[in-house]
């Protein structure tokens, strides 16, 4: 199944999309990656869900990426004597270490490490921004705040701390168990929530040990202060705009999205734009015009993927949401303005043989007007290097490793195919042309670029580029 677009679609699975038939329909509508949100899925069902995706993959004969999204540390207030209380603007309200039920004057904050990290002037946001407090005084196991934006506060509401560096690791004990389960089930990507520092990502990568790629979710302002270091460690990035929009002024989020997208592209690391992209389609069969524009903006920026959350997980129109996102991406990529933006943002190649080959392939595509780059790759790095420059040609990644093909399903413009490694240069060119015809990227008389590394099967050894013409013999073998 060949996509008519380069931007990939991530669809979250949930109650509305958990059975094999619906997963197959979502893939056929345009989903390339399925996200499993461990905030909602019981761990004991993870292996079963991944197995269902793999069964669909085998039936449809296309690599599908599985993204396991870890919950991360969830900060919440305790309980109230009457299940809720009303906070008035300007009043004093205490967060403390007392486990007794709260009232309109105080509540338990069951995170002593947070109480010790708060300082006067820090902002405390509760219930996704519905209530806002400012710390005025701190003491042993308590913080006195002034209510800036009041309202109803109830049991176990979430707490966000935009000014406070949380002295806890992004990987909780629950996450460790979910991570082990995800790796055992064969996840291709692991998304780490609430990353604050590069060490958070390095910890997960050490545990994964190369069994899965690690994606850093950027959803806290603290991560922006060391973004470059986080990006160096991570295999991919996600712009998690929901929590970003709670912990920093909403008007700053679009600029942050562009900054992260462009920085990830410069490094050649996949970047996903997420949260509320087609939110109205949870309950409506069509999106708003503003949502269409939002998705289009991410595509124009050259994001590797755009993501659906509740729209596909629990919404009433999951297939329609994926199909809508697919149509938006296809339309944007047909626009001449799209390519002018993409071209303007291209990054000069680094002084490495891999980048030199990728740059040469890109130049050949533009000079000869070719439509396909056939990349032989074991680790996937060759395909990612080619996709980094966003060529106006599809990157067909030929790999002997199924896990590599699945991981590349997330990368911009990449069409992964699992096949035996090439035996020699002639075999490399012949089978590349054969697959170009079989997958619909070329016809007899077309030329394609073949990129590979010698000796074959050596990761990171990209050192060869060849122009090959598709013949009737290639078409007959396809």
Q: Which of 160, 130, 128, 125 is nearest to 145 (CA)?
A: 125
Q: What is the pLDDT of residues 277-307, one digit of tens each?
A: 999 999 999 999 999 999 999 999 999 999 9
Q: What is the pLDDT of residues 37-96, one digit of tens each?
A: 999 999 999 999 999 999 999 999 999 999 999 999 889 999 999 999 999 999 999 999
The pLDDT, as a whole number, for residue 212 is 98
User: What are 28's two structure tokens?
Assistant: 């056929």
pLDDT band for 30, please (50, 70, 90 cuts): very high
Across residues 118-128, what is the average pLDDT?
A: 95
What percent of the chain has pLDDT above 90?
Answer: 89
The pLDDT, as a whole number, for residue 353 is 84
Side-chain-facing half-sphere of 448: CA atoms under 13 Å? 27
The pLDDT, as a whole number, for residue 388 is 93
Rounded CA-CA distance 53/76 in Å is: 33
pLDDT band for 122, please (50, 70, 90 cuts): very high
pLDDT greater than 80 at residue 459: no
Residue owning tokens 């990129």:
451
Superfamily (CATH) of domain 8-72+169-338: Phosphoenolpyruvate-binding domains (3.20.20.60)
pLDDT greater than 70 at residue 18: yes
The pLDDT, as a whole number, for residue 383 is 94
Superfamily (CATH) of domain 84-160: PK beta-barrel domain-like (2.40.33.10)
Cα distances (Å, whole numbers) of residue 185 to 50, 216, 355: 6, 20, 34
SS3 track for the chain: CCCCCCCEEEEECCCCCCCHHHHHHHHHHCCCEEEEECCCCCHHHHHHHHHHHHHHHHHHCCCCEEEEECCCCCCECCCECCCEEEECCCCEEEEECCCCCECCCEEECCCHHHHHHCCCCCEEEECCCCEEEEEEEEECCEEEEEEEECEEEECCCEEECCCCCCCCCCCCHHHHHHHHHHHHHCCCEEEECCCCCHHHHHHHHHHHCCCCEEEEEECCHHHHCCHHHHHHHCCEEEEEHHHHHHHCCHHHHHHHHHHHHHHHHHHCCCEEEECCCCHHHHCCCCCCHHHHHHHHHHHHCCCCEEEECHHHHCCCCHHHHHHHHHHHHHHHHCCHHHHHHHHHCCCCCCCCHHHHHHHHHHHHHHHHCCCEEEEECCCCHHHHHHHHCCCCCEEEEEECCHHHHHHHCCCCCEEEEECCCCCCHHHHHHHHHHHHHHCCCCCCCCEEEEEEECCCCCCCCEEEEEEEECCHHHHHHC
Domain boundaries defined on the chain: 8-72+169-338, 84-160, 353-477
pLDDT greater than 70 at residue 182: yes
Answer yes or no: are the C-beta atoms of 357 and 378 closer than 8 Å: no
Helix axes 20-29, 318-333, angle to 10 degrees: 20
What are the beta bridge partners of residue 271? 237
What are the beta bridge partners of residue 13? none
Q: What is the pLDDT of residues 356-379, one digit of tens each?
A: 999 999 999 999 999 999 999 999
Across residues 134-158, what is the average pLDDT?
A: 96
Q: What is the pLDDT of residues 238-291, one digit of tens each?
A: 999 998 999 899 999 999 999 999 999 999 999 999 999 999 999 999 999 999
User: What are 241's two structure tokens?
Assistant: 């705009």
The pLDDT, as a whole number, for residue 128 is 87
Q: What b/e readout covers 280-311, taking b as 16+ CB neighbours within 10 angstroms? A: bbbeeeebeeebbebbbbbbbbbbbbbbbbbb
Answer yes or no: are the C-beta atoms of 142 and 115 closer than 8 Å: yes
Across residues 133-137, what is the average pLDDT?
A: 98
Query: Residues near 188 by Cβ (< 8 Å), separated by ≥ 6?
Result: 65, 66, 67, 212, 213, 403, 406, 407, 409, 410
Q: Which of the residues are catalytic?
A: 35, 76, 217, 275
The pLDDT, as a whole number, for residue 126 is 96
Residue owning tokens 């002034």:
146
Q: Are domains 84-160 and 353-477 of this chain identical in fold? A: no
Query: Residues near 304 by Cβ (< 8 Å), separated by ≥ 6?
Result: 7, 8, 236, 264, 270, 271, 272, 387, 410, 411, 412
The pLDDT, as a whole number, for residue 463 is 84
Superfamily (CATH) of domain 353-477: Pyruvate kinase, C-terminal domain (3.40.1380.20)
The mean of the pLDDT values for the chain is 95
Side-chain-facing half-sphere of 430: CA atoms under 13 Å? 10
pLDDT band for 461, please (50, 70, 90 cuts): confident
Rounded CA-CA distance 225/162 in Å is: 12
pLDDT band for 460, please (50, 70, 90 cuts): low
Ranking 159-173, 333-347, 449-463 by mean pLDDT, the lowest is 449-463
Query: Residues near 8 by Cβ (< 8 Å), separated by ≥ 6?
Result: 32, 33, 304, 305, 306, 409, 410, 411, 412
Order the strands of the 394-399 sheet from edge to edge: 414-418, 394-399, 372-376, 447-453, 462-469
């Amino acid at each position: 199944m060949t996509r008519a677009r380069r931007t990939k679609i991530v669809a979250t699975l949930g109650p509305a999309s958990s059975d094999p038939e619906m997963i197959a329909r979502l893939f056929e509508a345009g989903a390339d990656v399925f996200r499993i949100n461990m905030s909602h899925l019981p761990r004991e069902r993870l292996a079963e869900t991944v197995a269902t995706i793999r069964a669909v993959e085998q039936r449809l004969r296309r690599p599908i990426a599985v993204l396991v999204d870890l919950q991360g540390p969830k900060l919440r207030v305790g309980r109230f004597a009457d299940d809720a209380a009303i906070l008035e603007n300007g009043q004093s309200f205490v967060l403390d270490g007392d486990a007794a039920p709260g009232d309109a004057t105080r509540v338990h904050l069951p995170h002593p490490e947070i109480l010790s990290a708060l300082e006067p002037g820090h902002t405390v946001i509760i219930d996704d921004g519905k209530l806002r407090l400012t710390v005025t005084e701190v003491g042993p196991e308590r913080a006195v705040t002034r209510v800036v934006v009041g309202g109803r506060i109830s049991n176990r509401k979430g707490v966000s701390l935009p000014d406070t560096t949380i002295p806890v690791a992004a990987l909780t004990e629950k996450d460790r168990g979910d991570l082990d389960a995800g790796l055992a089930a064969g996840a291709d990507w692991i998304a780490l929530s609430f990353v604050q520092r590069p060490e958070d990502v390095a910890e997960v990568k050490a545990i994964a040990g190369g069994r899965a790629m690690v994606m850093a979710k950027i959803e806290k302002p603290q991560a922006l202060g060391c973004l470059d270091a986080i990006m160096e460690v991570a295999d991919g990035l996600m712009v998690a705009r929901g929590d970003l929009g709670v912990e920093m002024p909403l008007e700053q989020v679009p600029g942050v999205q562009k900054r992260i997208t462009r920085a990830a592209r410069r490094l050649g690391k996949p970047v996903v734009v997420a949260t509320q992209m087609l939110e109205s389609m949870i309950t409506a069969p069509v999106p708003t015009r503003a949502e269409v524009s939002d998705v289009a903006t991410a595509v124009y920026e050259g994001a590797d993927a755009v993501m659906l959350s509740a729209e596909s997980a629990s919404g009433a129109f999951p297939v329609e949401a994926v199909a809508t996102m697919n149509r938006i991406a296809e339309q944007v990529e047909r626009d001449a303005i799209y390519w002018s933006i993409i071209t303007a943002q291209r990054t000069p190649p680094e002084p490495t043989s891999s980048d030199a080959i990728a740059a040469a392939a890109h130049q050949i595509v533009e000079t000869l007007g070719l439509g396909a780059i056939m990349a032989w790759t074991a680790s996937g790095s060759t395909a990612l290097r080619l996709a980094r420059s966003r060529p106006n040609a599809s990157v067909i990644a030929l790999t002997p490793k199924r896990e590599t093909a699945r991981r590349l399903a997330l990368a911009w413009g990449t069409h992964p195919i699992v096949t035996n490694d090439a035996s020699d240069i002639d075999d490399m060119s012949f089978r590349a042309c054969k697959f170009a015809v079989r997958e619909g990227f070329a016809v007899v008389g077309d030329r394609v670029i073949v990129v590979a590394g010698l000796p074959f099967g050596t990761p990171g050894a990209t050192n060869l580029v060849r122009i090959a013409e598709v013949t009737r013999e290639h078409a007959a073998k396809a």
